[in-house]
A and B are shown apart, each in its own frame.
Chain A
Amino acid sequence: MATKTSLKINGLDDYIQALANAGEDINKISREALAEAGDILAAEMKRNVRVVTGERSRNLVDHIKIRVPSGEGDYNYREIGIIHRLEFTDAATAIQANAVEYGSVHNKAMPFVRPAIRSKKAAINALIKARLVAAGLADA
């Protein structure tokens, strides 16, 4: 019984060279597109979030933020929403946001993250593709 196999692909040299040449542009364009996408998602989350009243309640609108990681390497991303890092969100706000998004025994969920992702998914995909196409990095 075979436990290994060999695959051979010819013609990769030109492709790898093109990727290497374009590497810097791809990261720059990706980060710019992600920044635009992040703004869209954050705005939609803020539009969706319910203001919960009460003495100990936080206004979650003020806690919806965008975290931009250091721009090293080729892995580009943004964190958007209630950022689970103490420098962004205190524990009480994180607990409240979790209860608002997912509900509890007593309360229905009043989600603001999941609907934002669902409603803006197509627009964000189109935006990122348009930016890559405009930069000559993808086919229309």
Chain B
Amino acid sequence: MITIFERVSTALGSLSPAVPYAIAPYKSTGALPDVFIAYELISGNPEAHADNVETARTYLVQVSIFSRAGFIGLPDVDAAMLAQDFVKSDWRQLPQDPETFHYGLAKDYTFTEFF
């Protein structure tokens, strides 16, 4: 069974053209790319049990897209995540970073795993 992190990585790795991505915080030895993606697990809560055994768990994953150019022409993260059976959830615009000048868009996705 693949982990939630592998599932996110598979989704983001399928973006075309490719966009640099990493689990948050995105680390770079040099200057940050103009566009990059950072993801992280926000929560993973059990949803159902049977005979004292967990039978379902829902994960909430945040995928943050950072771009110096703003929000036009961002990579189609939705399509990539939906292809890995995630469900779209809330979006939130992040304040522009005063040092790197990246704009940020945080997108939440859920995935329910059944055992």
Chain A residues close to B by CB (< 8 Å): 95, 98-99, 102-109, 111, 114-115, 118-119
Contacts and interface: CB of A to CB of B under 8 A. Distances in A.
A111 B90 CA distance: 14
Categorize the interface residue count of chain B: 20 to 34
A57 B108 CA distance: 26
Nearest to B103: A105
Chain B facing A: main interface SS: strand
Contacts of A106: 25, 97, 99
Contact of B97 (A95, A105, A115, A119): A105
Contacts, number: 62
Contacts of A103: 24-25, 38, 40, 62, 64, 94, 106
A73 B43 CA distance: 35
Contacts of B66: 105
B95 to A, nearest CB: 7
A33 to B, nearest CB: 22
Interface string B1-42: 000000000000000000000001110000010000010101
B95 A98 contact: yes
A102 B108 CA distance: 10
